[in-house]
Structure 1
Amino acid sequence: MDTPQNNGKPGYIEHKEARLASLYEEFYGKIANYAYAKIGDRFEAQDIAGEVFLRALRSLESYKEHGIPMQVWLFKIARNLIVDYYRKAARGRTVPIDNIELADNSNPADEIEKRDDFARVSRVMEQLTDGQREVLELRFLSELTSKEVSIIMGKSDGAVREMQRVAIEKLRHLLGVES
């Protein structure tokens, strides 16, 4: 019997579950990196990435593509969870001691250089608008196309490309890199 849940096709949900499993393999790391870039806490970012797939699995029956690829849908879920994270953080949160990252036994000079580089790039990225930062994070950390980013951000593809161009120009200027 055809129901709205099976879309009139035998194995429709099973096909979606298989598709979601393959997307998990491909995108879990990218979503976790995107979340980490937005919140700066690796454990929270991994929790958010896991929650993205749990929510997607729960909503799988109601997912309708309508021109939006499933991976874009996943990043939209991630974006919403990150907004929720900041809402909760604004109300005050504590970080369990288990979430504090301990330094490994790597070369201290390398660690200092990495931290300095990261701090410099972070300071420069803070000078971009929120939209420019998000475009760069989605395009380069999460390796999404400008079309996918445009859907996630609710902007036109041209607007996303222009935001990316302006952001890269600004980064080059701020970092003293010639184009």
Structure 2
Amino acid sequence: MRPEESTSERRRKEATLAALYDEYYERIARYIFVRLGDQAEAEDLAGEVFLKALESLDSYKERGIPMQAWLFKIAHNMVVDHFRKMAKRKTVPIDDVQIMAESDLQATAEANIELARVTKAVEQLTPVQRRVVELRFFGELTSEEAGQVLNKRAGAVRELQSAAIRRLRKLLCEES
């Protein structure tokens, strides 16, 4: 917020941010998590999305797209920036070691194997198909909303989604 903003303007923006946060935070965080695979990092970036939205709230009104699509565009851009920053770093993450009961370990191992299968299959989709799957299923956007994020017609989004599902089904059945 700019220093010259009035107190009432600042309060209005803060109230707007709070309402946006309540309505969209979980979906934005889930969308980012799917892209990053790290829950804590996804939550941090999701919070940053809303700070960025607050800073840009005045310019949003000029764009003429739904708020949800605008937030997902901000989230996408922040994920891209995150990957660029990570590519410049030469670090190796160290996972926290947790002691689990044997049954928990077995269930976790099975879930991880299944997640790896699905992730491997999703990675074989075209970039635009992958983005459609992420927005539609993890971001819970409608075809119209996903189309606004991707600058595509809703029908094109549905066609891409259909093609992606067929491809995923084929890849996962071949692997079984």
Q: Same fold (TM over 0.5)?
A: yes
- Secondary structure of the residue that 1:155 maps to in structure 2? coil
For residues 104 and 30 of structure 1, what CA distance do their matches in structure 2 show? 30
Runs of 5+ unmatched residues, structure 2: none
Superposed displacement of residue 24, structure 1? 0.8
Which of 106, 123, 134 pairs up with 1:126?
Answer: 123
- Percent of pairs with identical residues: 51
Q: Aligned to 1:89, which of 76, 86, 89?
A: 86
1:31 maps to 2:28: yes
2:4 is aligned with 1:21? no
* Structure-2 residue corresponding to 1:41: 38
**Cα 1:92–1:44 shift into 2, 3 Å:** same
What is the CA deviation profile of residues 102-137 of structure 1, one whole-angstrom value per residue up to 9, with x for unaligned ones? Answer: 436351110111111111111111111111111111
Alignment map for 1:13-162 (pairs within 5 Å): 17-64=14-61, 66-94=63-91, 100-103=95-98, 105=100, 107-162=104-159
1:170 aligns with 2:167: yes
- Compare the two structures and name the one with the higher helix fraction: 2
**Maintained 8 Å contact 1:17/1:60:** no
TM-score w.r.t. the length of structure 1 is: 0.81
Cα distance in structure 1, aligned partners of 2:23 and 2:99: 28
State the aligned residue count.
167
- The offset of 1:93, in angstroms, is 4.7
CA distance in 1, matches of 2:146, 2:45: 19
Per mean C-alpha deviation after superposition, the further-off stretch among 82-91 and 103-112 is 103-112
Cα 1:118/1:22, change in 2 over 3 Å: same
**Cα deviation 1:27-82 (Å, max 9, x = unaligned):** 11111111111122222211210110001111122221654111211111001101
Unmatched 5+ stretches in structure 1: 6-10
Distance (whole Å) between structure 1 residues aligned to residue 12 and residue 62 of structure 2: 13
Q: Following superposition, which runs of at least 4 residues in structure 1 exceed 6 angstroms of deviation?
A: none
